[in-house]
A and B are shown apart, each in its own frame.
Chain A
Amino acid sequence: MVRDPKTIDMLTRDYPYGFVTEIEEDSVPAGLSEDIIRAISSKKNEPDWMLEWRLRAYRQWLTLKEPTWANVHYGPIDYQAIRYYSAPKQRGDGPKSLAEVDPELLRTYERLGIPLAERELLAGVAVDAVFDSVSVATTFRDKLEQLGIYFCSFSEAVQKYPDLVQKYLGSVVPYSDNFFATLNSAVFSDGSFAYIPKGVRCPLELSTYFRINASETGQFERTLIIADEGSYVSYLEGCTAPMRDRNQLHAAVVELVALDDAEIRYATVQNWYPGDNEGRGGIYNFVTKRGKCQGVNSKISWTQVETGSAITWKYPGCILMGDNSTGAFYSVAVTNNYQQADTGTKMIHIGKNTRSTIVSKGISAGHGQNSYRGMVKVLKSAENARNYSQCDSLLIGDKCGAHTFPYLEVKNSTARVEHEASISKIGDDQIFYCQQRGLSAEDAVSTIINGFCKQALQELPMEFAVEARKLLGVSLEGSVG
């Protein structure tokens, strides 16, 4: 079916972000112990309460077992072989401005298409870049500070805004939440922090770029976003990693808190290295993301485009506490070659008139396995709760699989819950129809896929939607034919 020489070329095209940056790293020895945690904490010059919190998490973690309920398969992870902290060596106390950031690092980000410098201004994006374990630069800080918005690395927030961190850290994802979140709580090294004060509409898209560079290193970042009353923020997270033939663990935690009338839109474009086309290497992406609609009329939406990682285990959810609060989850998850994804969401309705929307689009190609796992829980207190779930799967070829695991728990009879699901294949007739109109087989597939994902993609901020479309094309290149 595929004759186009361009297509053949695409078939053999590599993961374009697979390069390694030669940079001196400052790290702790591999392995996990109280000493390692103390070492990480002291490298970051943390206050006692932070260290205590980490140690509590660590002790809890020792009692937990790795979960096995997800529909994914991988060999045992040796937690003692992982290095829990790795940072590019810094001169003195860490960069105060972009000029102090290692130029090699800046070049890495440029290759990734994340310019940290002036070009930002045009895009209207403020970027916090996390390289391996630490945050290396945050742009536009001054402009944001004028509005009272704090946007910085998590470590910096621990130093500068300890009250906010102490108040909200673990308030959505407690340190005892689950195996991977608990591990993260013990060893997290950095991440992003944002606080939007009352009544402020954040004028820029806030953005974090995560990059795993060092080998045998886990990345455990932690993000905390707090939208105070009546504020609004849109946040984007992007991720890449070099190609390595060993698996690397990424266990992040993201907590969102929306107070009265506040809105947080959180978007992820996840493109961690997925492993090669025989299933060697790639990132294990075991992530806990949760938002709490704490205030009345608050809104949180998660939009994710998941194309990377060897294994994805991820359920961004919303706790709808405030009356009239709204949660949404829009997801596009692609599994190609030997990728496995078990992803979905949890919507927990507690307040009155709470609403949630779930739109999940799973695409499986090659030997990819794609599972949607979604929970909708309506508690007794949630008078008039509404949920709408739509869950569509698209199969390309006949060696891949799509699975759906919806869980529903309704304790209030006034609730209305709707669930729709579909499984379809890209038809030869659809591809032929597009080709007959002059589109190449590649463009035909990407057009069909983009159409399939439209409801989710249109939730992304404009400039990232364009990125995401390209990424979908690249991830599925050569999968039809």
Chain B
Amino acid sequence: MMLRIRNLSASVDGKPILRGLELDVCAGEVHAIMGPNGSGKSTFAQVLAGRDTYHVVADELSFQGRDLRQMPPEIRAREGIFLAFQYPVEIPGVSNLYFLRAAVNAVRAHRGLPELDAVDFMSRARDEAKSLGMDDAMLKRSLNEGFSGGEKKRNEILQMKLLEPRLAILDESDSGLDIDALRIVADGINTMRSVDRAIIVVTHYQRLLNYVVPDRVHVLIGGRIIRSGSKELAMELEEKGYGWLEEQAAAERSEYKPGAKRKRDSAQPQENPQPSRKVS
């Protein structure tokens, strides 16, 4: 089991955002997380990456058998967790290439590998950039500064490809992409699929999942995964929206009494026809 999450809650300034989220992800799998705006998808992604804005409580939060809560964000990154941000930040004056190389070398050092020399790195970065339809000029520009929305998304994928993570979390990497770019990004993600790597894609659109076919689809509403299924679930959502699931979630929330000790099992809605957790 690569990622194992039990009863994960996260809040900010006392305001709960994640409430008892459960998820298991194995190496080699691709999971999709879908859910309405504001349901907590990005928060979940950031919590996995170690953002300290959130107050996190969980029965278990482990990555490759180690407790993530003991690891600062940079160690999680070096251990192989990669987050493609929904809104990548701009860092003026820092060249994209310089930053990429610093990142790759930080990860390599952690893994006991020698630094990549500048020339080798440059040619690798160029090749990967080219495969994503990015020209060299983008590598020399300041990190994300003045990049268009789509360019930022591609740049995140470029970083992922160079960093070769074990767990990649892609937060709406498909949003704001034109039709061709979506294809290119999807291809980029597919080339990353491998038996020893897991990928979590957060998306609003079934469209991406036509290219990147998920092993599991989860619906996150109100800070919890209230339904899990196969790729067909995504199509059902596309058709019906979230309304029907939200009603279920609301009904369940009214039963939920804050402070009262809950049975672990109640994290899974009873009426869920498929067990959302794979037993492994």
- A residues adjacent to B (C-beta < 8 A): 1, 3-4, 427-430, 432-441, 443, 447-448, 450-455
Q: Quick check: A433 and B91 within 8 Å, CB to CB?
A: yes
Write out the residue numbers on chain B whose beta carbons fall within 8 Å of the beta carbon of A441: 72, 74
B53 within 8 A of A: yes
Contact A438 B78 (CB under 8 A): yes
Neighbour of A451 across the interface among B46, B78, B94, CB < 8 A: B94
Contact residues in B for A428 (Cβ distance below 8 Å): 53
Does chain A have a CB within 8 A of B116? no
Q: Is the CB of A435 within 8 A of B74?
A: yes
CB neighbours of B89 from chain A (8 A):
427, 429-430, 433
Interchain residue pairs with CB less than 8 A apart (25) = A1-B52, A427-B89, A428-B53, A433-B89, A436-B73, A436-B74, A436-B77, A437-B102, A437-B159, A438-B103, A438-B107, A438-B110, A438-B163, A439-B74, A439-B102, A440-B74, A440-B106, A441-B74, A443-B102, A447-B94, A450-B93, A451-B91, A452-B92, A453-B93, A454-B93
A435 touches B77 (CB 8 A): yes
> Do B99 and A3 touch (CB < 8 A)?
no
Cβ-defined contact, B91 with A447, below 8 A: yes
Question: In the assembly, what is the distance between CA of A450 and CA of B91, in Å?
Answer: 10
B242 contacts partner chain A, Cβ-Cβ < 8 Å: no
Q: Which residues of B contact A429 (CB under 8 A)?
A: 89
Chain B: minimal CB distance from A467 (Å): 18
A438 and B91 contacting across the interface, CB-CB below 8 Å: no
Which residues of chain A come closer than 8 Å to B142, judged between CB atoms?
A: 451
Complex alpha-carbon distance, A4 and B50, angstroms: 14
Provide the bound-state CA to CA distance between A455 and B93, in Å: 8
**Which chain B residues border A453 with CB–CB below 8 Å?**
93
Q: Are B94 and A450 within 8 A (Cβ)?
A: yes
Q: Report if B211 contacts A (CB, 8 A).
A: no
B88 lies within 8 A of chain A by Cβ = yes
Closest A-B pairs by Cβ, 6 of them: A451-B93, A438-B106, A451-B94, A454-B93, A437-B103, A435-B73
**Is B83 on the interface with A (CB-CB < 8 A)?**
yes
Most buried by B among A430, A436, A441: A436
> Would you call B93 and A452 a contact (CB within 8 A)?
yes
A432 touches B51 (CB 8 A): yes
> Would A3 and B72 be within 8 Å (CB), given that A438-B77, A439-B103, A443-B102 are in contact?
yes
Identify 15 new A-B residue pairs, CB closer than 8 A, beyond the known A432-B46, A435-B74, A439-B106.
Answer: A4-B74, A430-B89, A436-B50, A436-B74, A437-B77, A437-B106, A437-B159, A438-B77, A441-B74, A447-B91, A448-B91, A451-B91, A451-B94, A451-B143, A454-B94
Q: Are A435 and B50 in contact (CB under 8 A)?
A: yes
Q: Which residues of A contact B74 (CB under 8 A)?
A: 4, 435-436, 438-441
**Docked CA distance A451–B90 (Å):** 11
Residues in chain B near residue A437, CB distance under 8 A: 77, 99, 102-103, 106, 159, 163
Q: Per-residue 0/1 for B50-78: is the Cβ within 8 Å of any A Cβ (1 yes, 0 no)? A: 11110000000000000000001110111
Most chain B CB inside 10 Å of its own CB: which residue of A427, A429, A450, A454: A429
Chain B contributes a number of interface residues (CB within 8 A of A) equal to 31
Min CB distance B41 to A, Å, is 17
A314 to chain B, nearest CB (A): 24
Instruction: Look across to chain B and name the residue whose beta carbon is closest to the beta carbon of A442.
Output: B74
Query: Which residues in A have their C-beta under 8 angstroms from that of B53?
Result: 428
Closest A residue by C-beta to B93: A451
Q: B75-109, CB under 8 A of A: which get 1 and which 0?
A: 01110001101001101111000010011001100
Q: How far is the CA of A443 from the CA of B77 in the complex (A)?
A: 14
- Min CB distance A476 to B, Å, is 16
Instruction: Please name all residues of chain A whose beta carbon is closer than 8 Å to the beta carbon of B34 when the two chains form the complex.
Output: none
> Which residues of the other chain, B, contact A433 by a CB distance below 8 angstroms?
85, 88-89, 91
Task: Name the CB-closest residue of B to A449.
Answer: B93
Q: Select one of A427, A438, A448, A455 contacting B94, CB under 8 A.
A: A448
Task: Select A430's contact among B52, B78, B91, beta carbons within 8 Å.
Answer: B91
Q: How far is the CA of A440 from the CA of B159 in the complex (A)?
A: 17
**Distance of A452 Cα from B143 Cα, bound (Å):** 12
Q: Does B185 contact A (CB under 8 A)?
A: no
Which A-chain residue is minimally distant from B52 (CB atoms)? A1
Alpha-carbon distance A452/B92, docked complex (angstroms): 6
Taken together as a complex, chains A and B put the C-alpha atoms of A15 and B85 apart, in Å, by 38
> A3 CA to B143 CA in the complex, in Å?
26
The answer to whether the Cβ of B139 comes within 8 Å of any Cβ in the partner chain is: no
In the bound complex, residues from chain B placing their C-beta under 8 Å from that of A440 are 74, 106
* Chain A nearest Cβ from B53, distance in angstroms: 7
Which A-chain residue is minimally distant from B73 (CB atoms)? A435
Cα distance A1–B82 when bound, in Å?
A: 20
Q: List the A side residues contacting B92 at CB < 8 Å.
A: 451-452
CB closest chain-B residue, reference A3: B72
Q: List the B side residues contacting A427 at CB < 8 Å.
A: 89
The B1-56 residues at the A interface (CB cut-off 8 A) are 46, 49-53
Bound together, the chains give a CA A450 to CA B93 distance in angstroms of: 7
Residues of B within 8 A of A443 (CB): 102, 106
| A447–B88 touching, CB < 8 Å | no
Q: How far is the CA of A201 from the CA of B172 in the complex (A)?
A: 57
Indicate if the CB atoms of A432 and B73 lie closer than 8 Å. yes
- Inside 8 A of B106's CB, which chain A residues have their CB? 437-440, 443
Contacts of B143 in A (CB 8 A): 451
Contacts of A430 in B (CB 8 A): 89, 91
Q: Find chain A residues with CB under 8 A from B88 CB.
A: 433
Specify the chain B residue showing the minimal Cβ separation from A447.
B94
State how many angstroms separate the Cβ of A339 from the closest Cβ of chain B: 23
A430 to B53, CA, bound (A): 13
Task: Give the Cβ gap from A92 to chain B, nearest Cβ, in Å.
Answer: 52
State the Cβ distance, A395 to closest chain B Cβ, in Å: 15
- Taking CB atoms, residues of chain B closer than 8 Å to A439 are 74, 102-103, 106
| Least Cβ–Cβ distance between A413 and chain B, in angstroms | 35
Closest partner residue, chain B, to A7 (CB atom): B72
- A433 CA / B99 CA spacing, docked (Å): 11
Q: Which residues of A contact B50 (CB under 8 A)?
A: 435-436
B residues in contact with A434, CB < 8 Å: 91, 99
> Interface readout for B205-248 with A: 1 if CB under 8 Å, 0 if not?
00000000000000000000000000000000000000000000
Cβ A436 vs Cβ B49 within 8 A: yes
**How distant is the Cα of A432 from the Cα of B81 in the complex, in angstroms?**
13
Which residue of A is nearest B98, CB measured? Answer: A447
Residues of A within 8 Å of B93, CB to CB, are 450-455
Nearest B residue to A4, CB-CB: B72
How many angstroms from the CA of A448 to the CA of B94 in the assembled complex? 7
Report B146-164 residues with CB < 8 Å from chain A CB: 159, 163
- Smallest CB-CB separation from A2: which chain B residue? B72
Which residues of chain B have C-beta atoms less than 8 A from A450's C-beta? 93-94
| Beta-carbon contact of B83 and A436 below 8 Å | yes
Distance A437 CA – B164 CA, assembled complex (angstroms): 11
- Distance between Cα atoms of A4 and B91 in the complex (Å): 23
- B102 in complex: contacting residue of A432, A447, A452, CB < 8 Å: A447
Most buried by B among A4, A429, A430, A438: A438
